Structure 1
Amino acid sequence: MMQTISFVESSRVKVKGLLSLNSQMFHIVINRCRDVKINDIRIVADGKSPNTDGIHVQLSTDVEIRNASIKTGDDCISIGPGTKNLWVERVTCGPGHGISIGSLGKDREEEGVQNVTVKKTVFVGTDNGLRIKSWANPSSGFVQRVRFLESLMSNVKFPLIIDQHYCPHNINCPTQVP
């Protein structure tokens, strides 16, 4: 996975005042981190650019994302397995695919996502607003204690989605959960 900035196995990280412009893929990746604060950032990519997630968080605990403007061709913020205690506040998203938890459940053994708060967000011209997506596979993964508060949406195709049969491109899709 290519990204502009990646934090791996780090703690007490602070990012403030960053502009990330036209990343080839993900702009910011937070992987296996603890105590990360991202404030006052701007992320910009063409609305048609694939795989340009603004911020991707996975296997990380105690992450805050505040005061951000994210314009991408993919998820503004993507939340992957093993994310715990994530706080997102005052984020403007668009264009893009919105804020997504997942996709989850692609692997049989997978950590869950828990304690996520998304508050005071604005979505303008996005495909989705707030989304939870999981594959229809048997998995140890889960999603619990998620709060979406005070979101404003304008020209959003699908404001809220919970998709338990996620399968991009509809190729080799699992169809059953035991």
Structure 2
Amino acid sequence: MAINHCSDILIRNVKIIDPTNSPTTDGIQMQSSTGVTITSSSIMTGEPFVNRLGDHLNEEGVQNVTVTSSSFTNTQNGVRIKLWARPRNGYARNIAFRNIIMNDIQNPIIIDRNYCSYNRGCPHQ
């Protein structure tokens, strides 16, 4: 599920499941959005919640995001915030996770401030 250039949205009672052998399985991916609330949801993918910031040079940030009363199960990563490894204007502000249940998670929380997809186009990598 992608949330791009959105504001003031509510996602409730969503269930996202990917087969364990699926490549690049982002559950909810968010870019350039504000005022997003995700509640009472269950996500079983490789990376359930991903913020990708700075993918495009003039990209806006993500702010005022709340994830509450949700569960992540049998995933590689629980919550992941990616900041691209190049000059950018993107930002992550006021992101909150409350009453989250993580079961069988390899990496519960990852904040990657030097992300580079496939090691291409990232001068500071």
TM-score of the alignment, normalized to the shorter chain, above 0.5: yes
Contact 1:57/1:83 (<8 A) preserved: yes
The code of the aligned residue for 2:44 comes to G
**Higher strand proportion, which one?**
2
Q: For CA contacts below 8 A with separation 6 or more, give which structure has more relative contact order.
A: 2
Structure 2: gaps of 5 or more residues: none
- Once the 2 structures are TM-superposed, how far is the Cα of residue 127 of structure 1 from its aligned partner? 1.1
- Once the 2 structures are TM-superposed, how far is the Cα of residue 169 of structure 1 from its aligned partner? 2.8
Q: Which has the larger radius of gyration?
A: 1
The code of the aligned residue for 2:15 comes to S
Counterpart position of 2:26: 75
SS at the partner of 1:131?
strand
- Structure 2 CA distance, aligned partners of 1:90 and 1:69? 9
- Structure 2 CA distance, aligned partners of 1:118 and 1:60? 16
Counterpart position of 2:110: 161
Contact 1:98/1:128 (<8 A) preserved: yes
- Once the 2 structures are TM-superposed, how far is the Cα of residue 172 of structure 1 from its aligned partner? 4.4
- Once the 2 structures are TM-superposed, how far is the Cα of residue 105 of structure 1 from its aligned partner? 1.1
- Structure 2 CA distance, aligned partners of 1:57 and 1:106? 14
The code of the aligned residue for 2:37 comes to W
Structure 1: gaps of 5 or more residues: 1-54
Aligned residues: 120
- Once the 2 structures are TM-superposed, how far is the Cα of residue 167 of structure 1 from its aligned partner? 1.6
- Structure 1 CA distance, aligned partners of 2:119 and 2:48? 21
Deviates more, 1:163-172 or 1:83-92: 163-172
- Once the 2 structures are TM-superposed, how far is the Cα of residue 173 of structure 1 from its aligned partner? 3.4
SS at the partner of 2:8?
strand
Query: Where in structure 1 do 4 or more consecutive aligned residues deviate above 6 Å?
Result: none
- Structure 1 CA distance, aligned partners of 2:57 and 2:121? 16
The code of the aligned residue for 2:29 comes to S
Contact 1:71/1:96 (<8 A) preserved: no
- Structure 2 CA distance, aligned partners of 1:162 and 1:146? 12
- Structure 2 CA distance, aligned partners of 1:89 and 1:108? 31
Overall identity of the aligned pairs, in %: 35
Counterpart position of 1:100: 50
The code of the aligned residue for 1:66 comes to R
1:141 equivalenced with 2:90 (yes/no): yes
